[in-house]
Structure 1
Amino acid sequence: MSNAHPHPLDPLTADELAAGRAVLETQGLITETTRFPQVLPVEPDKAAVLAGARTDRRIQFTLLDTATGESADAVVSIATGELVSHEKCGEGQPPYLFEEYDLAEAITKASPEWQAAMRRRGLGDRIEHAFCAPLAPGYFGREDETGRVIRSLTFLREDSTDSPWAHPVEGLVAHLDLTEQRVLRVEDEGDTPVPEDSGRYGHHPARTTLKPIEITQPEGPSFQVDGSLVTWEGWQLRVGFNAREGLTLHQLTFQDRSVLYRASVPEMVVPYGDTSIGRFWISYFDAGEYLLGKNGNSLRLGCDCLGVIHYFDAFLADDHGRPVRVPNAICMHEEDYGILWKHTDLDGKAEVRRSRRLVISSISTIGNYDYGFFWYLYLDGTIECEAKATGIVFSGAGEPGSTQPHASEIAPGLFAPVHQHLFCARLDFAVDGQRNSVYEVDAVGIPVGDENPYGNAFTWKATELRTEQEAKRHANPATARVWEVRSTEHTNRLGAPTAYQLVPRPSATLMAQPESSVYQRATFATNHLWVTPYAPGERFPAGDRPNAHPGGAGLPAWTAADRSISDTDVVLWHVFGPTHIPRPEDWPVMPVDYSGFMVRPYGFCDRNPALDLPSAAHGHCEH
């Protein structure tokens, strides 16, 4: 995804990452204890990009001194080789380093208190293969939890190849200070037996009844790729990838007209609903605490992706700030998607056109869970985002056959707590340009009377959302609610504003109570919709550093100003995702749980934009 003259929105290259690090080294900002928990491209000025002006390529390096726990953000200009800024980080902690995962386990296993707890439980002979998970601690304002803190729960393994999630050591929690490399305290409650049911899942005898499905495109795919620029059937966009968000899409146009300037899923929170000492604090921010992109998979043909594939590599910085290549970080291909439109006339003559979609995807693994992010572009101008949650459910132990109010038994003695996966998409709309307004559209029933004499009538109501506070909204399937982004400058042939609709798949918002810590830290997840006027520094809905942050940052802080969102450059933030009450079928590896939303044209086109599709080609359709 690199070339000699990168576009301003292209992902970072290995050479740029190395050059940026060299500037920091020259400035004396790198020592033996300096690490790089986050390295991100600095988004170029939007007005300059839209004007086609040349922009400076810049990188933001977050620097952590592991000896002191102090952190700072440094911005480097690649074009000039200069240090643009260097400021200490504010409240909250940078994301975790990969090396801190191993450090957390080493600190835990070296602890006499942890070893004593294992021996007390009769597990002293199983310490060698124990897995001590490195888990973000949330925020509870405890006096000893200042600085770089992490918690660790213990899981047993038969050997190094065993799945640890099958064998939790219930009620054993180690609280760690990563900077001082010491155990703050160990909590050891109860004597629940460790479940022994196997969690191995990859070596079951394969069924032989499935016949092959072959996907071929003998003339090649219909898309064209030039660096990060993709062109496909009326669509044009740029594909990006960074360490925090992972997959990003830029400057999406349909039929040479702008729809979205930028689209991504910049944050997700996974809050647990269990009150036990080992889980009440769990509320992982998988982007802000762990980094979705840095945990991205290298995708494999025939497994993660099927068909005629184009892969994009990505270049990220490792813990030492040096460039690392992630091969096949993004997969792109076409796939058939059934009927797009069809009609059979009175004389029996049928016209049918098949749909297909362009699929752009990436997958990240954060501990026990795997998340697939799939963006679909359709021939009729529709965009869809789908998140696929799979992997292994987080587990605890209990008495076999018993019931728990906050966890369900999924295998003998193995309990999985209720939890949520709440994603937040950031959609920087540009419907026929940067001047847009947002409306909430509901279907409305009409009382029986003069306007509804037969009782059958209903209509729709469009309400403009004029300020940020008005735009804090919930989905409502009872009224088929959608949110419509209208151009304030362009109309269609009927004289109506050209528009695109955000169509939610309704799901629960944050279930935690307002008094809870996670509510304060993940306030973005309490509404399905937020709308803000575009501001270049407003990128992450829970703030820049949600790790160990007390809360209030991001969307609740920005929208407190109640800025106008009428006739301006608007950003829609949409919360979606499953509320998971685990079931036995989720064990030992979970079938995909799907969630997402759609963005579709509404009066953006003057008629069906897929009328010119050819009928089934090459004789595949029997007449």
Structure 2
Amino acid sequence: MKKIVCTTCLVALISMLGISQQLMAQQQSSMQYMHPLDPLDSNEIKLVKQILLKEKKVSNDSSSLFSIINLKEPPKEEVLAYTPGTSFRREAFAYVYDYSTNLFAKAEIDLKTQKLLTYGKIEGKQPVGSFKADSLTSDIVEGNAEWDAALKKRGINPDSVKASHGNFAADLGLAPMGNREKIVSPTYKNKKYGHVPIGGIYAYVDITDRKVLKVIDTGKGWSEPVEVNYFEGDSIKVTLDAPKPVMISQPEGTNYRIEGNQVISPFWKFRFGIHNREGLIVYDVQYFDHAQDSWRYIMYRGGLAEMIVNYGSPDLLNASNNYFDVGEFRLFQDVARPLTAGADAPENATYLPVTLHNDYGSPIHADSSIAVFEEYGGVLWRHQNYSRRATDLAIKYYITAGNYDYGFKWIFKEDGNIKVETELNGIAHIRSVERVTDAPGSADESSEGSYFGTIVEPHVEANNHQHWFVYRFDMDVDGQQNSVGEMNTVNAPVGPENPYGNAMIGKMTMFKSEQEAQRDAKASTSRMWMVMNHHVKNKFDHMSSFMLMPSAGITPLAEKNSSLYNRAPVLYHHFWATPYNPDEMYPAGDYPASNQKGEGLPAWAAQNRSLENTDVVVWYVAGVTHVVRPEEWPIMNQHTVAVSLMPFGFMSSNPVLGMPPANLPDGLSKKASPDKNLSGQKTPASGERE
């Protein structure tokens, strides 16, 4: 669908900026959109910077940095009302940061009229993103008398180390509110020894004012050079026999098609995009109800709103290592990771490009960074000799966050189930220690005789830690008039209604307000949460609902007076629900790199707004506690955490009962014929047991 744009305005702007006619043509072409939620392309990213340059809001040198450039999503009501071929707004936003003045600001731009809509300074906060300029901590620390004395006391030449290994100080910091501050430890400049910091020496570094605020020397910690057998992909030696290939092919083509940024299959349609802070987002998720012969709405927007890793070693550096990978680092998306066919995604996948941007506002185009594919989903249903094959539809995206790699995968199943998986890969976080084994009695820190990590090499400890994934689901089950409740399966009281003590019920509790909806997982009652539409019911009077099936109920091990709690109290409940508000996107607050406490979702939910018969958003906190095994060094094998959304009363019966038997290509042997009693014996009637 082509979009009409103001060509005259575009020509005028390009003329003022001295842009070539070729670039003008590219930008004019980029204004042809299919949908209001299509992500920005490379020419639009360039246009954002050009408009800010014209308005003198940024400079063209390296001092002006771009934290985020992204599509400003149109209001929800406009998107829902959009019909192909009609006009829609096209806007972008940008967070910009100037190191020389510590100026942090947000700009909003109309891309169709090429005008700056708003520009405002953000006081007392730090931008999302880790910039290359943050590495100047080494220059600031160089020559500091206390720092040098601590190193010399250990026999270390100060010229042999650098001070770039660290994290944002946030609420542990000493700098004035709004200054950019890190806590760092020394590492050897020699790459062979530079994978672990020297223990026991820490510096608070104010990057804004370019000074060392404090040096701490505990007098402890291993400081000798440690040559770590760190994973290096280019030096892997193949020592095992290759398995015989298991290939997935689709000789008759795929069951889905892709139109722009929309995926459509016989059961599902959804839109997708890559957000420069959040990564993979799905929009406009609908299921085709074959019994009703119609598309039915489930979710307006779903994605990862925050990802946090906290470490369990008692030293200062690890206490500050609460990595907010979405809110602090925008998922490290200054580099896109292409997917490897046959490993990251199957050979039959459709591989698609993404467009990101770097610190200087220049677009980054990467091919094959998104995969859309169908995969064998196991058994769809079976009984006796009747069996059907499940074919799942999936979309996947990978990022590399420092030493970790994360895969984000949405799986859409034919029966209406949605599974959201996060794949954990990469290299365990390490620190230097005195001991060379995990035998008891070392001088290293310990608690009740146990260490705070696992020895993976002499003097190298892989830290105990936890990973957190906060998902945001803007559910619109058959529309925007939804309510939220919780179901627990419990035993019925013994009495006339349960004379034998074996009866059980699904006990439903409706949440009237936000405070009631702050809940924790409970495996013993199979606790689940439901988003339901009171106005739509199936033929048995069940409300049209989708239920959120939780993952393992991992809880934070950091105390409630810890830095983790101050910055991310959202982690201390598994489930939250709020009424829809387009400004409430990030559960740990918009700027978690800053010195802050209690911002984000807990502050919003404190309003205790109504959740009854309204447009609701549900949030789920999934966690993984990782005590590293020796078998996970020097690289881990994949671990997966998942949450599912399942229909409950959304339909009146099994929507895939009529699925035909698997249609195998000619030439493949069928050892058993589907839907036939091969034994020649009587098949028991439904409900009978032999």
Q: Is the TM-score greater than 0.5?
A: yes
Give the letter for the 1:271 counterpart. Answer: N
Shift of the 3–207 alpha-carbon distance from structure 1 to 2, 3 Å rule, reads farther
Shift of the 163–476 alpha-carbon distance from structure 1 to 2, 3 Å rule, reads farther
Which of the residues 351, 363, 366 maps onto 1:326? 366
Q: Do residues 299 (structure 1) and 330 (structure 2) align?
A: no
1:223, 1:230 within 8 Å by CA — same for their partners in 2?
yes
Give the letter for the 1:132 counterpart. Answer: S
Shift of the 191–280 alpha-carbon distance from structure 1 to 2, 3 Å rule, reads closer
Q: Do residues 140 (structure 1) and 172 (structure 2) align?
A: yes
Give the letter for the 2:608 counterpart. Answer: D
Q: Do residues 222 (structure 1) and 255 (structure 2) align?
A: yes
Deviation at 1:424, TM superposition (A): 0.4
Which of the residues 180, 201, 204 maps onto 1:175? 204
Which of the residues 287, 312, 315 maps onto 2:355? 315
Q: Do residues 199 (structure 1) and 244 (structure 2) align?
A: no
1:533, 1:563 within 8 Å by CA — same for their partners in 2?
yes
Further displaced range: 100-109 or 254-263: 100-109
Further displaced range: 18-27 or 507-516: 507-516
Which of the residues 478, 496, 512 maps onto 1:450? 496
- Per the alignment, residue 371 of structure 1 pairs with 406
Q: Do residues 335 (structure 1) and 390 (structure 2) align?
A: no
Instruction: Name the SS for the 2:133 alignment partner.
Output: helix
Which of the residues 92, 103, 106 maps onto 1:73? 106
Give the letter for the 2:172 counterpart. Answer: F
Instruction: Name the SS for the 1:22 alignment partner.
Output: helix
2:173, 2:181 within 8 Å by CA — same for their partners in 1?
no
Which of the residues 308, 313, 316 maps onto 1:269? 308
Partners of 1:41 and 1:568 lie apart in 2 by 26
Identity %: 34
Deviation at 1:380, TM superposition (A): 0.9
Shift of the 284–558 alpha-carbon distance from structure 1 to 2, 3 Å rule, reads same
Partners of 1:91 and 1:265 lie apart in 2 by 26
Deviation at 1:122, TM superposition (A): 4.0
- Per the alignment, residue 36 of structure 1 pairs with 66
- Per the alignment, residue 82 of structure 2 pairs with 52
Once the two structures are superposed, residues 134-155 of structure 1 have per-residue CA deviations (whole angstroms, 9 ceiling, x without a partner) of 4222312525675011233344
- The size of the alignment, in residue pairs, is 614
Partners of 1:532 and 1:144 lie apart in 2 by 33
Partners of 2:536 and 2:616 lie apart in 1 by 16
Partners of 1:436 and 1:279 lie apart in 2 by 42
Partners of 1:302 and 1:124 lie apart in 2 by 48
Which of the residues 497, 512, 524 maps onto 2:543? 497
Further displaced range: 178-187 or 585-594: 178-187
Partners of 2:366 and 2:529 lie apart in 1 by 37
Further displaced range: 39-48 or 398-407: 398-407
Q: Do residues 586 (structure 1) and 637 (structure 2) align?
A: no
Shift of the 296–502 alpha-carbon distance from structure 1 to 2, 3 Å rule, reads farther
Instruction: Name the SS for the 1:321 alignment partner.
Output: coil
Further displaced range: 480-489 or 177-186: 177-186
Partners of 2:394 and 2:455 lie apart in 1 by 34
Deviation at 1:516, TM superposition (A): 2.1
- Per the alignment, residue 390 of structure 1 pairs with 425
Shift of the 126–480 alpha-carbon distance from structure 1 to 2, 3 Å rule, reads farther
Once the two structures are superposed, residues 165-185 of structure 1 have per-residue CA deviations (whole angstroms, 9 ceiling, x without a partner) of 4x4321232332223444434
Q: Do residues 187 (structure 1) and 219 (structure 2) align?
A: no
Further displaced range: 453-462 or 87-96: 87-96
Instruction: Name the SS for the 2:571 alignment partner.
Output: helix
Q: Do residues 278 (structure 1) and 324 (structure 2) align?
A: no
After TM superposition, the structure 1 = structure 2 runs for residues 93-242 of structure 1, keeping only pairs within 5 Å, are 93-105=126-138, 107-108=140-141, 114=147, 117-124=150-157, 127=160, 132-143=164-175, 147-156=179-188, 159=191, 164-165=194-195, 167-189=196-218, 190-192=220-222, 193-200=224-231, 202=233, 203-208=236-241, 210-242=243-275
Give the letter for the 2:55 counterpart. Answer: Q
Which of the residues 453, 464, 485 maps onto 1:408? 453
Give the letter for the 1:364 counterpart. Answer: I
- Per the alignment, residue 485 of structure 2 pairs with 439
Give the letter for the 2:388 counterpart. Answer: R
Further displaced range: 434-443 or 360-369: 360-369
2:126, 2:591 within 8 Å by CA — same for their partners in 1?
yes
Shift of the 294–500 alpha-carbon distance from structure 1 to 2, 3 Å rule, reads farther
Partners of 2:148 and 2:251 lie apart in 1 by 62
Deviation at 1:321, TM superposition (A): 1.4
Further displaced range: 176-185 or 472-481: 176-185
Deviation at 1:558, TM superposition (A): 0.8
2:175, 2:213 within 8 Å by CA — same for their partners in 1?
no
Deviation at 1:79, TM superposition (A): 1.3
Partners of 1:490 and 1:28 lie apart in 2 by 53
Q: Do residues 609 (structure 1) and 644 (structure 2) align?
A: no
Give the letter for the 1:45 counterpart. Answer: P
Stretches of structure 2 that go unaligned for 5 or more consecutive residues are: 1-28, 289-294, 673-690
Deviation at 1:307, TM superposition (A): 2.0
Instruction: Name the SS for the 2:517 alignment partner.
Output: coil
Further displaced range: 553-562 or 503-512: 503-512
Instruction: Name the SS for the 1:278 alignment partner.
Output: helix
After TM superposition, the structure 1 = structure 2 runs for residues 11-30 of structure 1, keeping only pairs within 5 Å, are 11-30=39-58
Kindly name which structure, 1 or 2, has the bigger radius of gyration based on alpha carbons: 2
Stretches of structure 1 that go unaligned for 5 or more consecutive residues are: 345-349
Shift of the 612–98 alpha-carbon distance from structure 1 to 2, 3 Å rule, reads farther
Shift of the 234–447 alpha-carbon distance from structure 1 to 2, 3 Å rule, reads same
Q: Do residues 519 (structure 1) and 575 (structure 2) align?
A: no
1:108, 1:132 within 8 Å by CA — same for their partners in 2?
no
Instruction: Name the SS for the 1:387 alignment partner.
Output: strand
Shift of the 2–170 alpha-carbon distance from structure 1 to 2, 3 Å rule, reads farther
Shift of the 148–456 alpha-carbon distance from structure 1 to 2, 3 Å rule, reads same
2:575, 2:618 within 8 Å by CA — same for their partners in 1?
yes
- Per the alignment, residue 347 of structure 1 pairs with none
Shift of the 126–605 alpha-carbon distance from structure 1 to 2, 3 Å rule, reads farther
Shift of the 356–114 alpha-carbon distance from structure 1 to 2, 3 Å rule, reads farther
1:144, 1:184 within 8 Å by CA — same for their partners in 2?
no
2:141, 2:163 within 8 Å by CA — same for their partners in 1?
no
1:357, 1:379 within 8 Å by CA — same for their partners in 2?
yes
Deviation at 1:506, TM superposition (A): 2.3
Once the two structures are superposed, residues 284-330 of structure 1 have per-residue CA deviations (whole angstroms, 9 ceiling, x without a partner) of 11101011144542222233222212122222222111222132232
TM-score, normalised by the number of residues in structure 2? 0.84
Larger helix proportion, structure 1 or 2? 2
Partners of 2:140 and 2:459 lie apart in 1 by 29
Partners of 1:91 and 1:191 lie apart in 2 by 35
1:131, 1:164 within 8 Å by CA — same for their partners in 2?
no
Once the two structures are superposed, residues 427-479 of structure 1 have per-residue CA deviations (whole angstroms, 9 ceiling, x without a partner) of 00011111111110000112322222112111110110110000000011010
Shift of the 9–374 alpha-carbon distance from structure 1 to 2, 3 Å rule, reads same
The RMSD of aligned alpha carbons is 2.4
- Per the alignment, residue 252 of structure 1 pairs with 285
Further displaced range: 409-418 or 522-531: 409-418
2:310, 2:467 within 8 Å by CA — same for their partners in 1?
yes
Shift of the 471–620 alpha-carbon distance from structure 1 to 2, 3 Å rule, reads farther
Partners of 1:204 and 1:407 lie apart in 2 by 32
